[in-house]
Amino acid sequence: MRRLQLITLVGLASLVALAGPRAVAWAGPQAYIVQQGDTLWELAEDNGCSIEQLRKANKLDRDAPIVVGRQLDLSSCAGGPARPSATSRSYIVVSGDSLSSIARRHSTTVAELRSLNDLEGNLIKIGQQLRVPGQAKRSVRLLVGQSRGRPGHGWLHQPTQLPQSSAYYRRRVDRTWAAAHVIDHTVNAVAEARASFPKLHRLAIGDLSDKDGGSLSGHHSHQSGRDIDVGLYYRKVPAGYPSEFVVATKGNFDAAATWALLVSFVRTAGRDGGVEKIFLDYELQGWLYAAARKDGWSKAKLVDVFQYPDGPYAAHGIVRHEPKHDDHIHVRFACTPDDDGCK
């Protein structure tokens, strides 16, 4: 993980975490020494400001790179990750977009988009992430006593069912039971991906657990309501999808959209009831790694996400290689806090 070196009026330090805000006590003007692998996108996200604010404070041209060893002024930052408000979500600019067309699509005004994104004019770029008005995230319920035992030897008590939705297709409804936090994190992840890519097709959802948990045919795990199999996004919906999973090909796989889904899961890691592990074919890791790099993630930060490019047996990354996982993503969540019956 990347460690920030901050120069302040008092000595400060922060922990880098995929899960959320850094625990930093800010005091007065801040400066930051650029490290290998840093990007303005990450610095802005990590420190509670926009890329434009960082550029303006440091007199950086729009296309100017940041140089390792340079001192950046972070005084315009709020001291924590920049988060969308409770009534906003993310949108990725695509070819043909303009502020006016995006505003119409999301039932808002150009002026509101400028305000949400600290924009002075109308210039936007393909791939740029914008905040747009939208619904607040689903609250994550952290219930004790639902998930019992281990994923490979456990059961469910008073489980929660994944609700029906036009955003996804439940392949086997009798196997859509899980702990409540698994359901809530999943619904949020799908919503975030669709917010960034509004034209996404319906996502296939595979097995969670059956209503009582326990042994589930076709699986060694999925017994305690903490596992879910999630399909992939494609540039063109394959034959048979979403009623069946379909193996991804380099030509048909929508890596950018699937990365938007995956990163929404990854960002819960380390939070209460967040992701514990993700299982995925190593070749697909590589395709998603490339999408993450285009999305602005540094190689240093991606060490904590993928095994790629260090081989399918590399001892790092939340996403782990698993054979026969080239047509879906297997997501496993942690137990809720203070739940002694969940292992």
Tens digit of pLDDT for each residue in 283-292? 999 999 999 9
pLDDT at 30: 61
Residue 219 lies in a domain: yes
Q: Note the pLDDT of residue 60.
A: 85
Tokens encoding 138:
């689903």
Residue 142 to residue 333: CA distance in whole angstroms: 12
Report which of residues 152 and 10 the model is more confident about. Answer: 152
Alpha carbons 21 and 80: distance in angstroms, whole number:
6
Q: How confident is the model at residue 42 (pLDDT cuts 50, 70, 90)?
A: low
- In this structure, the answer to whether residues 62 and 111 fall within a common structural domain is no
pLDDT band at 107 (very low <50, low <70, confident <90, very high): low
Residue 33 vs residue 263, higher pLDDT: 263
The answer on pLDDT for 53 being more than 60 is yes
Compute the distance between CA of residue 66 and CA of residue 161 in angstroms, rounded to an integer: 48
Instruction: Print burial letters for 36-52: b (CB count within 10 Å at least 16), e (below 16).
Output: eebbbebbbbbbbbbbb
220, 164: one domain: yes
Whether residue 255 is predicted with pLDDT greater than 80 in this model: the reply is yes
Of 165 and 65, the one with more pLDDT: 165
Domain count, the chain: 3
Would you state the pLDDT for residue 32?
76
pLDDT value of residue 105: 67
State pLDDT tens for residues 219-228: 999 999 999 9
Average confidence score pLDDT of the chain:
84
Domain residue limits at 34: 6-73
Average pLDDT, integer, range 131-147: 84
Q: Are residues 129 and 151 in the same domain?
A: no
Give the mean pLDDT of 323-333.
97
Same domain, 183 and 50: no
Do residue 178 and residue 304 come from a single domain? Answer: yes
Confidence band for 2, pLDDT divided at 50, 70 and 90:
very low
How high is the pLDDT of residue 121?
Answer: 83
341 in any annotated domain: no
> Which pLDDT band holds residue 19 (cuts at 50, 70, 90)?
very low
What is the 3-state secondary structure of the chain? CCCCCEECCCCCCCCCCCCCCCCCCCCCCCEEECCCCCCHHHHHHHHCCCHHHHHHHHCCCCCCCCCCCCEEECCCCCCCCCCCCCCEEEEECCCCCCHHHHHHHCCCCHHHHHHHHCCCCCCCCCCCEEEEECCCCCCCCCCCCCEEEECCEEEECCCEECCCECCEEECCHHHCEECHHHHHHHHHHHHHHHHHCCCCCCEEECCCECCCCCCCCCCCCCCCCCEEEECCCECCCCCCCCCCCCCCCCCCECHHHHHHHHHHHHCCCCCCCCEEEEECCHHHHHHHHHHHHHCCCCHHHHCCCCCCCCCCCCCCCCEECCCCCCCCEEEEECCCCCCCCEC
How far apart CA 6 and CA 42 sit, in angstroms, is 15
- CATH of residue 116: 3.10.350.10
Is 256's pLDDT higher than 70?
yes
pLDDT value, residue 139: 87
Query: Per the domain annotation, does 78 fall within a domain?
Result: no
Q: For residues 231 and 281, state if they share a domain.
A: yes
Q: Omega into 337 within 30° of 0, i.e. cis?
A: no
Q: Are residues 116 and 197 in the same domain?
A: no
| Whether residue 264 sits in one domain with residue 176 | yes
Instruction: Please confirm whether the linkage preceding 309 is cis (ω < 30° from 0).
Output: yes
Assess whether pLDDT exceeds 90 at residue 99. no
Q: In the predicted model, is pLDDT for residue 55 greater than 90? A: no
- Asked if residue 294 and residue 244 are part of one domain, the reply reads yes
Q: What is the mean pLDDT of residues 237-266?
A: 96
**Both 153 and 214 in a single domain?**
yes
pLDDT of res. 74:
78
pLDDT above 70: residue 144: yes
Question: Same domain, yes or no, for 62 and 105?
Answer: no
Query: Which tokens sit at 284?
Result: 């697909």
CATH number for the domain harbouring residue 203:
3.30.1380.10
One domain for residues 65 and 183: no
Q: What is the pLDDT of residue 262?
A: 97
